[in-house]
């Protein structure tokens, strides 16, 4: 409701900044209908957390008063994170003079969804507070049409289908995610566009947006994304195709404009490294 991360909300509750019907609340308390919730918010930061620096290759596909849509290049995260020293979309936008919404945690203001650092393609960022709230709700309610293309090793059987398997952190605790009983619900639809000797070009439609969802679900089917070493991809195939990261691209993003209500859709062509890999497979 206030655009805070779960961690920050928990800190406010622990600090006594949240009252339920006038009494301090515990983090596990449930709020019933008709209950009065009183939250004391911290003052807004006086300066942006991210240092605005230009991000080479970051293209603005569309911009108005409420949203900015970008084509994210490889090696760029959505927002600054602990331990990441590379560029981010937010830094790139700030350096270009684009003002983003102040909602959300300080380090990821305006961010309503994310792409992995090495996943390229279309991404939308909220500029107005109304757009932030509306788009966050749209992603949560699964009304956003998110389409990806990926090269998967081998040939999925059947050629089209749905993967409905919960995802959570891998028990090894090494940064990976995995299909885990009791994890968060995750649904991935896939369709084979082209079948090659060693791999298949798939179109993916996501219902949910779990971390590494496409990569985890395809690996669970034993058809990992080409070049995705974290999830068991064949390094020999990736090297032959000249792929130095997972072959995964957000090709299309469609949603209702957050203030105008009209349907909008944005597309991104494959970057050069992904295009060359597909061309090599076609020659084979």
CATH code of the domain covering residue 171: 3.30.2350.10
Q: Pinpoint the alpha helices (H) of 56-128.
A: 89-95
Per annotation, catalytic residue among 21, 116, 191, 284: 116
Tokens of 11: 């800190």
Residues 147 and 282 in one domain: yes
Confidence band for 47, pLDDT divided at 50, 70 and 90: very low
Strands 120-126 and 248-256: parallel
pLDDT, average across residues 57-85:
92
**Residue 81 in domain:** yes
pLDDT of residue 42: 75
pTM: 0.81
Which range, of 50-59, 69-78, 263-272, averages the lowest pLDDT?
Answer: 50-59
> Within a domain: residue 207?
yes
Distance from C-alpha of 90 to C-alpha of 100, rounded to nearest angstrom: 8
Of 141, 175, 195, which one is at a domain's C-terminal end? 141
Is position 1 within any domain? Answer: no
Q: Are residues 159 and 172 in the same domain?
A: yes
* Residue percentage of the chain with pLDDT more than 70: 94
Name the burial class of residue 39, with classes exposed (0-12), middle (13-18) and buried (19+) by CB atoms within 10 angstroms of its CB. Answer: middle
Chain centre distance of CA 141: 15
Q: How far apart are CA 256 and CA 245, in angstroms?
A: 32
Same domain, residue pair 15 and 49: no
The number of domains in the chain is: 3
Are residues 132 and 185 part of one domain? no
> N- to C-terminal Cα distance for the chain?
53
Mean pLDDT of 176-203: 96
Same domain for 266 and 146? yes
Indicate the average pLDDT of the chain.
91
On whether residue 274 sits in a domain, the answer given is yes
Question: What are the residues whose beta carbons fall under 8 Å from the beta carbon of 37, sequence distance 6 or more?
Answer: 18, 19, 20, 31
Q: Are residues 121 and 80 in the same domain?
A: yes
- The residue assigned the tokens 């990976």 is 176
Largest Cα span, the chain: 70
pLDDT for res 50: 47
Both 197 and 129 in one domain: the answer is no
User: Which has more confidence, 284 or 255?
Assistant: 255
Q: Are residues 121 and 185 in the same domain?
A: no
Confidence of residue 243 (pLDDT cuts 50, 70, 90): very high
Q: What is the pLDDT of residues 83-133, one digit of tens each?
A: 788 899 999 999 999 999 987 766 678 999 999 999 999 999 999 999 999
Q: Tell me: pLDDT of 40 over 50.
A: yes
Return the residue matching tokens 């709700």. Answer: 137
The pair of structure tokens assigned to 41 is 């918010």
Q: 136 and 147 share a domain? A: no
* 152 and 263 together in one domain: yes
Structure token digits, residue 9: 């909300």
Q: Tell whether 243 and 151 lie within a shared domain.
A: yes
Question: Of 148, 175, 181, whose CA–CA distance to 253 is shortest?
Answer: 148
Look up 157 and say whether it is catalytic: no
Region 74-88: mean pLDDT is: 87
**Of 119, 141, 163, which residue sits at a domain end?**
141
Q: What is the pLDDT of residue 26?
A: 87
Same domain, 164 and 58: no
Structural domain of 115: 45-141
């Amino acid at each position: 409701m206030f655009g805070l991360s779960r961690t920050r909300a928990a800190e406010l509750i622990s600090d006594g900044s949240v009252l339920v019907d006038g009494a301090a609340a515990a983090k596990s308390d449930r709020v019933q209908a008709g209950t009065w919730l009183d939250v004391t918010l911290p003052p807004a930061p006086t300066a942006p957390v991210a240092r605005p620096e230009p991000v080479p290759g970051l293209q603005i596909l569309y911009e108005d008063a409420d949203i900015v849509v970008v084509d994210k290049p490889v090696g760029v995260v959505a927002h600054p994170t602990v331990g990441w020293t590379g560029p981010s979309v937010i830094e790139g936008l700030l350096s270009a003079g684009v003002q983003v919404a102040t909602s959300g945690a300080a380090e990821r203001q305006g961010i309503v969804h994310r792409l992995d650092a090495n996943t390229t393609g279309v991404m939308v960022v909220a500029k107005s507070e109304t757009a932030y709230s509306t788009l966050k709700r749209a992603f949560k309610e699964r009304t956003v049409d998110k389409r990806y293309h990926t090269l998967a090793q081998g040939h999925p059987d059947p050629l089209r289908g749905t993967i409905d398997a919960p995802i959570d952190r891998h028990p090894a605790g090494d940064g990976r995610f995995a299909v885990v009983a009791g994890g968060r619900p995750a649904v991935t639809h896939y369709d084979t566009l082209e079948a090659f000797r060693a791999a298949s070009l798939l179109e993916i439609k996501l219902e949910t947006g779990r971390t590494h969802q496409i990569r985890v679900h395809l690996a669970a089917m034993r058809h990992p994304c080409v070049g995705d070493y974290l999830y068991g991809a064949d390094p020999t195939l990736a090297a032959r195709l000249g792929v130095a990261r997972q072959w995964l691209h957000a090709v299309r993003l469609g949603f209702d404009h957050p203030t105008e209500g009209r349907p909008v859709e944005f597309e991104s062509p494959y970057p050069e490294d992904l295009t060359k890999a597909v061309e090599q497979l076609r020659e084979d």
